């Protein structure tokens, strides 16, 4: 039997969503925000979309710097990822508080997070408000990845999936099926 849910609650029924750490440059200190609402949009040109509530401190940082990096985290740092999603860069230095390490990106001023396994360096291509969120569309100008993390498919890494309600899971590399 199916139950019907109020449309406003739809997002809970899309879980699990992969959680990513988005880094943004800032003249004082770079910031990190945890996002579950993000998606590839186009191969050519290479476009990636992130959806952000305008109340987030990172929102204005992206409007100002017009750049961001989408960093994919291994499950071993899930506690730090959760911290970045529950504290604002208005009040804390998230790199300092989590001990995550900023390293320079190739093409943008926003840093990569060393402990993450893959990184999309994006230049802001378009900004559009959809309801209560802003869709930032980034053109991917460089991709960096740990050399052992991918062998065409993701290998040797447990990624972070958000289940809602402050709960996370990962996938087990043992149950991959290739067709």
Ligand X SMILES: Cc1cc2nc3c(=O)[nH]c(=O)nc-3n(C[C@H](O)[C@H](O)[C@H](O)COP(=O)(O)O)c2cc1C
Positions touching ligand X (CB under 6 A) are: 19, 31, 33-37, 51-53, 56-58, 82, 85-90, 162
Dihedral sign (CA 98, 100, 102, 105):
negative
| Cβ neighbourhood burial of 33 (10 Å; 0-12, 13-18, 19+) | buried
Minimal CA–CA distance to 140: which of 68, 34, 63? 68
Shortest separation between residue 130's beta carbon and ligand X, angstroms: 12
Shortest separation between residue 56's beta carbon and ligand X, angstroms: 4
CB nearer ligand X, residue 87 or residue 119: 87
Rounded CA-CA distance 125/105 in Å is 18
Rounded CA-CA distance 20/23 in Å is 10
CB nearer ligand X, residue 35 or residue 70: 35
Shortest separation between residue 136's beta carbon and ligand X, angstroms: 10
Shortest separation between residue 168's beta carbon and ligand X, angstroms: 7
State the Cα angle at 155 between 154 and 159, rounded to 5°. 60
Q: Which residue is nearest to ligand X (CB)?
A: 85
Rounded CA-CA distance 169/78 in Å is 9
CB nearer ligand X, residue 74 or residue 89: 89
Distance of CA 132 to CAs 33, 77, 84, 135, Å?
Answer: 18, 30, 21, 10
CB nearer ligand X, residue 18 or residue 150: 18
Shortest separation between residue 78's beta carbon and ligand X, angstroms: 9
């Amino acid at each position: 039997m199916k139950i019907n849910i109020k449309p406003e609650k739809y997002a809970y029924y899309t879980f699990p969503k992969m959680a990513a750490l988005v880094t943004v440059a800032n003249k004082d200190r770079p910031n990190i925000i945890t996002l579950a609402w993000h998606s590839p949009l186009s191969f050519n040109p290479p476009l990636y979309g992130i959806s952000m509530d305008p109340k987030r401190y990172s929102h204005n940082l992206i409007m100002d710097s017009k750049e961001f990096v989408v960093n994919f985290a291994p499950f071993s740092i899930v506690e730090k990822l959760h911290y970045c999603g529950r504290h604002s860069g208005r009040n804390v230095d998230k790199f300092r508080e989590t001990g995550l390490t900023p390293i320079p990106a190739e093409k943008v001023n926003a840093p990569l997070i060393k402990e993450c396994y893959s990184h999309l360096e994006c230049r802001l291509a378009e900004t559009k408000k959809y309801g209560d969120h802003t869709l930032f569309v980034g053109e991917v100008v460089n991709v960096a990845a740990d050399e052992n993390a991918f062998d065409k498919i993701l290998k040797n890494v447990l990624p972070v999936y958000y289940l809602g309600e402050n709960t996370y899971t990962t996938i087990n590399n043992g149950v991959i099926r290739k067709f």
